[in-house]
Chains A and B, each alone.
Chain A
């Protein structure tokens, strides 16, 4: 257990040393937050609410999505794939720690570092420019924080699974690009799901991608009843468990293949 926390801590520290990358990532994401907010404001054009979403909520959406990009590492993550492809995995598997747990620790450290040095400042700066919606009760805040932790776990579970394709295909990178691209589509990242046609919005919410990206945002923007809060959290927990299970399964298959067939 201590090894796990040590992994998190090391990864966290390392993330903090990427000063230049973090700063420039922050700047880029902030710019895009401004772009997205501007587009939504122009669309709403004096209308206050569209399909239950207020203009303020939409603006908040623009800010949070950009703030979460680095944190969730949602666009791409190929570390495990690289490890498999260049044989580093041999050394990794010899470590006295479960392969999945090890990478989870690394990712949690990274996410925590990214949250502190990128997501938080970004959102705070964003708040200086726009009036946004904040959770209106202590309970909402708490559940939101829990929710983004679960989001990161779901995101990791998905990214890890995609990376495992490298065990079977030399073209895993192409598969990865496609898989990650597909997941953005249903994540609710591009536009607030409330503005989508209902069928698409509901379908996206059912996917783990929507659960990872959009659900916490809904928690943040809307005042949900305790029942709804619980429901959201349960959906997320379901996906977390789902990925933990599937990842372990696929991983063991992959390792077996690796061991039998060689590097």
Chain B
């Protein structure tokens, strides 16, 4: 509990430091929204020449696209300490040792080591696309769906977060960035922005059985939007998102702790 309070304090200090030049910050956020958002704009403009993609309308694509963007942006803001670009140098420059020398939980210290408020841009962009989707389609909202939506977002956040944690852990062993992991995190973000049944079988298999992105995006959306699933999976699969995310995060943390123990026995 004490460590959590320290974490919040550290985050608050970083936010204050990042908001030192508010005009510059706002400009960066806005430019982020525009640039990242253009990717969807390009898709939407292109889409007007076609009727649907895999039987899904633009609004339906925007539904999963916006969710994935919002979740990834949220994750990127919170888990930034585990981002290879931040954590790699931390290990290389020996700053990780500093964390071990403080009487505070190490994992929470890594969370607190970097909080990038700028990622708000991606969150806003995702939200905007999601809201846009709601203007295009009619979702039959039920109480359960309304409850499931935030659960789905949180699940996606921890799904992506697990990949970041795993990526950071690998730096204990290799100095090189394992970009193969980017395929799962950033690639995962990419495929989760579309109805995943449009991808060829190998890609689908990768994102079902290796990194279960399909259970975090496609199947929940199939349920929410009332789509038919040409892949023929049982209905309950749509509700596995929180279970999968929790399991992944648990595994990631175990790997992470294993990494720390190994770091302490073999040195840097």
Contacts and interface: CB of A to CB of B under 8 A. Distances in A.
- Asked if chains A and B are in direct contact (CB within 8 A), the reply is yes
Contacts of A17: none
Contacts of B178: 24
25 contacts: A21-B176, A21-B179, A24-B179, A24-B182, A27-B183, A28-B183, A28-B187, A32-B187, A32-B190, A38-B198, A38-B200, A41-B198, A43-B46, A43-B47, A45-B52, A171-B21, A174-B31, A178-B31, A178-B35, A181-B32, A185-B35, A185-B38, A191-B42, A191-B43, A196-B45
Contacts of B200: 34, 38
B45 A35 contact: no
Contact of A171 (B24, B42, B47): B24
Given A34-B203, A35-B190, A35-B191, A44 B27 contact: no
B15 to A, nearest CB: 17
A197 to B, nearest CB: 6
B39 A31 contact: no
What's the dominant secondary structure at chain A's contact region?
helix
Given A38-B198, A50-B49, A181 B177 contact: no
Contacts of A50: 49-50
A38 B203 CA distance: 10
B180 interface: yes
Interface extent on B, as a size class? 35 or more
B83 interface: no
Contacts of A195: 45-46, 49
Contacts of A38: 198-200, 203
Nearest to A188: B42
Contact of A177 (B28, B180, B183): B28
A188 to B, nearest CB: 9
Interface of B: 21, 24, 27-28, 31-32, 34-35, 38-39, 42-43, 45-50, 52-54, 176-180, 182-183, 186-187, 190-191, 194, 198-200, 203
B31 A196 contact: no
Interface string A161-188: 0000000000100100110011011000
B203 A28 contact: no
Contacts of A177: 28, 31-32
Contacts of A43: 46-47, 50, 53
Given A35-B187, A35-B199, A42 B45 contact: no
Interface in A128-161: none
Given A31-B187, A35-B203, A174-B24, A25 B179 contact: yes
A18 B186 CA distance: 22
B50 A44 contact: yes
Most buried by B among A24, A25, A177, A184: A24
Given A27-B180, A35-B190, A191 B46 contact: yes
A42 B54 contact: yes
